[in-house]
Amino acid sequence: MRIKDQEWRSSLVASLGREFTKEKLKMKSRKHLYICSRHFEEKCIVQGKKCHLVHGSIPTKFLPVALHSNAVKPRKEPSFREPPVVPERVRYLDFEDFRKTTARNVPASWLVVLSSTTEVALWHEAAQLRFQVDAAFNITLKSPCYRWRPDVRAVCSIQEVDARRASPDTTLHKNTPLRTASKQQLIDALKTERHSVSKLKKTVKALTKQKKELVSIDDTFHKTLTGIMDERNENASEFVQLFWEEQKKMHARTMSGHRWHPMMI
């Protein structure tokens, strides 16, 4: 009997799997399976010249309780592992004993860089690590971080990128026609120009503030200072005389030059 209903066919195959053992299922053809009519109810069989099943009929009589399934393999028991080797530990009640023991038995690849009554420090050159123990047995680990170490190179690169963005370069030459420049080039050029104008304004503001704080010296005041220098130069020591002579030379310079000796400032 050919069954076109795939759902009914799957249910029949699942039920027939209870009837046959695993060996018989292998021997039977994959396309044909046979079962006796005694496994069906009487109402499920239509009598006639050729008996056939009612649609949706499932064998329910004289069937095994469970399906034939593969035996579950037992889980492999975990293998025994040796416990990790624990180094020998010594409890020091006195920091002085600990310091002496550390000085005698320095671990491999470590170097004692400090050994006092209050602190012991070891240095590991390969790992760039400093191991420090104080008198209260507090442990401190330190590792120096240089600018171009591999662990901070990414951070330094980001800082350099931010610095370049903060001071953009000139995007357009001063003689470049604006009609040939793109919109983005014009925007970048405007940003650059605004940065330069802002810096110039700050510089002018600082110079203006310095100009207000300065004291202008006219010719009369200049002659007065020179006269004071000449008067004090008569009864002065050799060092003071040399100082006033140098100051007079600086006053003889142009008005725009540096006119005061560093000692006067």
What residues have CB less than 8 Å from 151, skipping those under 6 apart?
A: 145
Residues of the chain with pLDDT under 50: 27, 148, 265
The string of pLDDT tens digits covering residues 31-41 is: 666 677 787 88
Residue 50 C-beta-side C-alpha neighbours within 13 Å: 1
Q: Maximum CA pair distance of the chain?
A: 155
What pLDDT was estimated at residue 81?
Answer: 87
Q: Per-domain residue ranges for the chain?
A: 6-53, 95-142, 155-210, 215-265
What pLDDT was estimated at residue 132?
Answer: 87
- Dihedral sign computed on CA atoms, order 180, 186, 192, 195: positive
What pLDDT was estimated at residue 202?
Answer: 93
d(CA 23, CA 29): 12
Strand partners, 121: 114, 132
What pLDDT was estimated at residue 31?
Answer: 60
What pLDDT was estimated at residue 165?
Answer: 64
Helices (H), 153-182: 153-166
- CB atoms < 10 A from the CB of 12, how many? 20
What pLDDT was estimated at residue 204?
Answer: 94
What pLDDT was estimated at residue 265?
Answer: 46
